[in-house]
Amino acid sequence: VAEGAGEEILGRAVEVDKGGNRKLPELGKWLKDEIGTFFDKRGKPTTVKYIDPSYMIRSVPANASDAIYTALLAQNAVHGAMAGYTAFSVGMANNRLVYIPISSLVKNSPRIMDPMGRTWERVLSVTGQPNTAVKIDSTSAAISTRTII
């Protein structure tokens, strides 16, 4: 579940953290409880595990390459904004930093990621996260093997 999702359901938080940022509602825990309640009402035993990945993602220290790359992205984002561009993102294409319109980024963007695919394996490799995806035998499984992102 994406960070910040669920404000329509759980309401907008009024609490702020030490940095002054609004605390986001805990949709993951709420969703876990709702799924458990749904199956309990139907008399079906279930076990739902909720793992907050934020501590795993933020626990990987940045290396020198990360620092240089993020500095370049940030500098170019500021240059684009100062030049009057809006609704864009900065990215690397053909070894050059480019401005990419947000509309182009999301137009054909897949909303799913294969947890057994190469892209997810690359994410795990770079961030050093453990692979928590469970391989499901697609011949006997009735649930999807795709993760919504």
- Give the mean pLDDT of 81-99: 92
Residue 109 confidence (pLDDT): 65
Question: pTM of the full predicted structure?
Answer: 0.41
**Residue 30 burial by Cβ neighbours in a 10 Å radius (0-12, 13-18, 19+):** middle
CA angle 89/90/94 to nearest 5° reads 130
Q: Which has more confidence, 136 or 20?
A: 20
Residue 77 confidence (pLDDT): 94
How confident is residue 1, by pLDDT bands cut at 50, 70 and 90?
low
Q: Which has more confidence, 18 or 46?
A: 46
Alpha-carbon gap, residue 87 to 9, rounded angstroms = 27
How confident is residue 149, by pLDDT bands cut at 50, 70 and 90?
very low
Q: Are 127 and 119 in contact (CB under 8 A)?
A: no
